[in-house]
């Protein structure tokens, strides 16, 4: 039908709803083990782990990050492009986003700044990293840290999950991670006991000083005054 070969489709296919799988991530201790192992290995591995785990960048965004996107004065990154098999494209969400730098990531970027090219991560000759090289750095770092599972996207989940666990609002996580749909962010919110606890504690608080009861009382007073 899209190619205008036929006028209508004789069949209708209804897709079954399936639950989305939970996002795997490194816990706090595992992530610190991975950071330490990556730092021992080489600077590219260290920056890849930090950019994924502490800034939430996707693999292509890590590869395409340029020094002009890094503002060490303001301590923030501007994520505005992605590298897909050597082709520069927009980010997955189609818009740029600003991500504040953690102290550790800012220090690493300052220490490892180079003049071999415009990319933050590159090979010794200045050539950009490939997806295979980035994935290999993460895999070898995880192996060195004696962690069973690895992957660049697991680092991204590791960025989102602790934010949710520490009570960050879903909207803030969505902006930082560049999720196009809030439903994607909601996958992490079951990890936020602090937010759930805070919501219930609202019921334990004092009754607000304004409300329907006050409106009725005020209204009756005004009626009484007007009848005098």
Give catalytic status of residue 156 as yes or no.
yes
Contacts of 29 (CB under 8 A, 6+ apart): none
Long-range contacts of 184-190 (CB under 8 A, 24+ apart): 185/160, 187/20, 187/22, 187/23, 188/23, 188/157, 188/160, 188/161, 188/163, 188/164, 189/164, 190/164
Which of 26, 31, 46, 58 is catalytic? The answer is 58
Which of 81, 92, 140, 187 is catalytic? The answer is 92
Contact 141, 45 (CB under 8 A): yes
Q: How is residue 107 written in tokens?
A: 């220090």
Give catalytic status of residue 92 as yes or no.
yes
Q: CA 62 to CA 82: how far, in whole Å?
A: 8
Give catalytic status of residue 58 as yes or no.
yes
Give catalytic status of residue 179 as yes or no.
yes
Which of 137, 154, 157, 179 is catalytic? The answer is 179
Closest by CA to 154, choosing from 170, 171, 135, 168, is 135
Which of 26, 31, 46, 188 is catalytic? The answer is 188
Residue written as token pair 């607000």: 208
Distances (CA, A) of 204 to 7, 169, 192, 193, 197: 62, 21, 20, 17, 11
Name the pairing type of β-strands 87-89 and 82-84. Answer: antiparallel
Contacts of 171 (CB under 8 A, 6+ apart): 182, 185
Which of 97, 119, 154, 156 is catalytic? The answer is 156
- Write out the catalytic residue numbers: 58, 92, 153, 156, 179, 188
């Amino acid at each position: 039908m899209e190619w205008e070969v036929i006028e209508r489709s004789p069949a209708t296919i209804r897709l079954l709803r399936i639950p989305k799988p939970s996002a795997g991530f490194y816990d706090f201790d595992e992530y610190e083990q991975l950071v330490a192992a990556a730092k021992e290995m080489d600077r590219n591995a260290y920056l890849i782990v930090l950019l994924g785990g502490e800034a939430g960048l996707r693999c292509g965004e890590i590869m395409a990050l340029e020094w002009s996107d890094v503002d060490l004065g303001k301590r923030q990154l501007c994520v505005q492009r992605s590298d897909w098999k050597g082709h520069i494209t927009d980010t997955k969400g189609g818009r740029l986003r600003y991500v504040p730098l953690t102290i550790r990531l800012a220090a690493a970027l300052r220490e490892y700044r180079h003049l071999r090219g415009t990319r933050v991560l590159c090979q010794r000759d200045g050539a950009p990293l490939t997806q295979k090289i980035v994935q290999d750095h993460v895999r070898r770092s995880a192996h060195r840290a004696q962690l069973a599972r690895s992957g660049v996207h697991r680092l991204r989940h590791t960025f989102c999950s602790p934010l949710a666990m520490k009570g960050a609002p879903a909207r803030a996580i969505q902006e930082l991670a560049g999720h196009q749909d809030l439903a994607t962010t909601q996958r992490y919110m079951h990890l936020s006991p602090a937010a759930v606890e805070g919501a219930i504690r609202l019921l334990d608080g004092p009754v607000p000083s304004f409300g329907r009861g006050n409106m009725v009382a005020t209204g009756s007073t005004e009626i009484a005054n007007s009848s005098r």
